[in-house]
Amino acid sequence: MNITVLDGYTLNPGDLSWEGLAQMGNLTVYDRTLPGETLDRALEADIIFTNKVVLSREIISKLNRLKFIGVLATGYNVVDVEAAREHGIVVTNIPAYSTASVAQMVFAHILNFTQQVGLHARQVRDGEWSSHQDFCFWKTPQTELEGKTLGIIGFGRIGRQIARLGDAFGMKVIFHNRSVKPDVPQHFRQTTLGEVFSNSDFLSINCPLTPENQGFINEKMLSLMKPSAFLINTGRGPLINEPDLANALNSGRIAGAGLDVLSVEPPGKMNPLLSAKNCYITPHIAWATLEARVRLMKIATENLRAFISGKPINTV
């Protein structure tokens, strides 16, 4: 059985092992696969794993040996699932492997805004503290999280974990979700989208991307936010109208944005958020802690093992 990993580098840049997959077949791992290389590399595969390499209807129709596609992520939009189904190909994904890691990144961005540890550490290294006449100094306001309002859009596993962390900091938690969430602590209040935008001091975006909500964080919604509020997005980049957010930041309409995702990744050099005022962008790494990647690799291996045993799991 031929097992092909089309783009394994982001999951495993060298600090993990592919041994679990290798035990189940003849394994070939490519660090990266360009669109023009996909068909040739996949043609002899019985099993394919992909993270971001697209497996379109056209490509799937030509892969006569293919029996299984394992997506090395939670989102599976890179695979034409309907075409796979028509050809009898099982498609699996990796659910709930990075919940703690993504929630942690949300607070890394929040704490960056409240404390600016990196900025102050650089000032100390540059000698400013040594030459200062007072015992302390600060370049930005130091902000306490207790009593601030944390708004969350999308209250799935990650949203709930962010709420727990906010609660531990003494924050007031409000959230918006498409469906009613009855099984939440009473002090986590579900409310309207407009109220979450209007009342939040820190607003975390954690909802899935759909055709209906693409670009919904636009000038209209941003205008509802407090000028002192911060927007954090670890969900999906296309949820945000990026020129509108850049304008809101540059005009002081909102205080700042912490983003781990953008609409196009890697971003083009002309993306307006790259130079926007008080906009901190991390390169889509919220999911990528060592612990989360170990978990992802383990689940991917279990998915294939279950498929081989005739009892597939985590199918989409």
At 32-75, the pLDDT tens digits run: 999 999 999 999 999 999 999 999 999 999 999 999 999 999 98
202's enclosing H/E stretch is strand 202-205
Q: Which of 109, 120, 176, 236 is catalytic?
A: 236
Residue 302 pLDDT > 90, yes or no?
yes
Residue 169 belongs to some domain of the structure:
yes
Q: Print the domain residue range for 140.
A: 99-281
Question: Which residue, 269, 303, 266, is CA-closest to 282?
Answer: 266
Q: Do 54 and 114 sit in the same domain of this protein? A: no
Greatest pairwise CA separation for the chain in angstroms: 75
CATH of the domain at 294: 3.40.50.720
Bridge partners of 188? 173
Distance of CA 274 to the CA centre of its chain: 18
CA distance 82 to 19: 31
Q: Do 114 and 214 sit in the same domain of this protein? A: yes
Report the chain's mean pLDDT, rounded to a whole number.
97
Q: Among this protein's residues, is 265 annotated catalytic?
A: yes
Q: Do 40 and 166 sit in the same domain of this protein? A: no
The token pair that represents 143 in the structure block: 């902000």
Q: Among this protein's residues, is 120 annotated catalytic?
A: no
At 88-138, the pLDDT tens digits run: 999 999 999 999 999 999 999 999 999 999 999 999 999 999 999 999 999
CA distance 290 to 267: 24
DSSP 3-state helix, strand, coil percentages of the chain (rounded to 5)? 35, 15, 50
Q: Among this protein's residues, is 284 annotated catalytic?
A: yes
Residue 181 pLDDT > 90, yes or no?
no
Structural domain tally of the chain? 2
Q: Do 138 and 254 sit in the same domain of this protein? A: yes
Residue 182 pLDDT > 90, yes or no?
no
Residue 316 belongs to some domain of the structure:
no
